Amino acid sequence: MTAENRVIPALQVEDLTVAYRDKPVLWDVDVSVPPGVLMAVVGPNGAGKTTLIKACLGLVRPAAGRVLIHGRPVEAQRRNIAYVPQRGSVDWDFPTTVLDVVTMGRYGALGWFRRPGAAERERARQCLEMVGMLGYERRQISQLSGGQQQRVFLARALVQDADLFFMDEPFQGVDATTERAIVALLQDLRASGRTVICVHHDLQTVPEYFDWVSLVNVRLVASGPVNEVFTPNHLRTTYGGRLPFLSQRADPKERAR
């Protein structure tokens, strides 16, 4: 315990509250993620999982609390963070090619005005190879299947050469082959010391794929190693939590107990 505490966490979320107008989506969340883990963020729909990721990336402004990446604010760490948004968040009819989309991962390192060149495209090709999509570089992105789109997004994150990855449902709507390929890739990333944080929906696969987990339902239910915190009790609090909460309100006898 003490030895672990001394390591600077890859991600430290302190008292994070995010509200859309006056409706809290995340309520005083504290999470600390050590480097080199593969973490799932699970919770029911509307639990604030995507909002948690977006707040970590500085894409939504918190009402309270702060986020530290390797001990520093996110603005100072942009080069070290990669982001895989939900696949459905972009227009796949956009007139651009696979190689172009992957190269976009280098835009942050290039900064304003500088154009990507041969070096960036070569790196993009390497990352396409890592996700098994070499040979698709010149394909227009509307011609890709769902699984291929997800692989392209993953390659775009790899190309950022980050050490902390945020992924919003990377397994959404992909076939079994692609899911296995993505898991293998994520585990490779962890093996090389990188930290990966995924919004994940399939509870069955959490213990198999991940070694760390955060259970979120507006508030943080639990966060830690899968074998310690991924318990039926915590899951009931996360997913069933709403029903008892409602019935407590509706039924004073229940509250009295």
**Binding residues for other proteins restricted to 186-205, rule: CB under 8 A:** none
The Cα–Cα gap between 118 and 21 comes to: 46
Nearer to other proteins, 113 or 232 (CB): 113
**Binding residues for other proteins restricted to 112-151, rule: CB under 8 A:** 112-116, 140
- Token output for 82: 């990669």
Residue 175 contacts other proteins per CB under 8 A: yes
Residue 104 contacts other proteins per CB under 8 A: yes
Which of 175, 120, 189 has its CA nearest to residue 146?
175
Question: Smallest distance from the beta carbon of 50 to other proteins, in angstroms?
Answer: 10
- x/- map, 53-92, other proteins, by CB under 8 A: -x--xxx---------------x--x--x-x-x---xxx-
Nearer to other proteins, 111 or 252 (CB): 111
Residue 95 contacts other proteins per CB under 8 A: yes
Question: Smallest distance from the beta carbon of 75 to other proteins, in angstroms?
Answer: 8
Chain centroid to CA 252: 40
In 3-state terms, what secondary structure has residue 243? Answer: helix
Residue 245 contacts other proteins per CB under 8 A: no
Question: C-alpha angle 116/56/169, rounded to 5°?
Answer: 80
Which of 84, 80, 62, 83 has its CA nearest to residue 71?
80
Find the binder of other proteins among 35, 44, 108, 132 (CB under 8 A): 108
In which residue are the tokens 């890592």 written?
130
Residue 94 contacts other proteins per CB under 8 A: yes
Question: Smallest distance from the beta carbon of 47 to other proteins, in angstroms?
Answer: 19
Instruction: Select from 1-9, 65-73, 99-107, 124-132 the region that touches other proteins (CB under 8 A).
Output: 99-107
Using only C-alpha atoms, what is the Rg of the chain?
19
Residue 158 contacts other proteins per CB under 8 A: no
Nearer to other proteins, 157 or 182 (CB): 157
Question: Smallest distance from the beta carbon of 24 to other proteins, in angstroms?
Answer: 17
96 burial via Cβ count (<10 Å: 0-12, 13-18, 19+): middle
Exposure string for 61-86, b = 16+ CB within 10 A, e = fewer: ebbebebbbbeeebeebeebbbbbbb
Which of 94, 149, 157, 148 has its CA nearest to residue 123?
157
Contact footprint for other proteins (CB under 8 A): 54, 57-59, 75, 78, 81, 83, 85, 89-91, 94-97, 100-101, 104, 107-108, 110-116, 140, 156, 160, 175
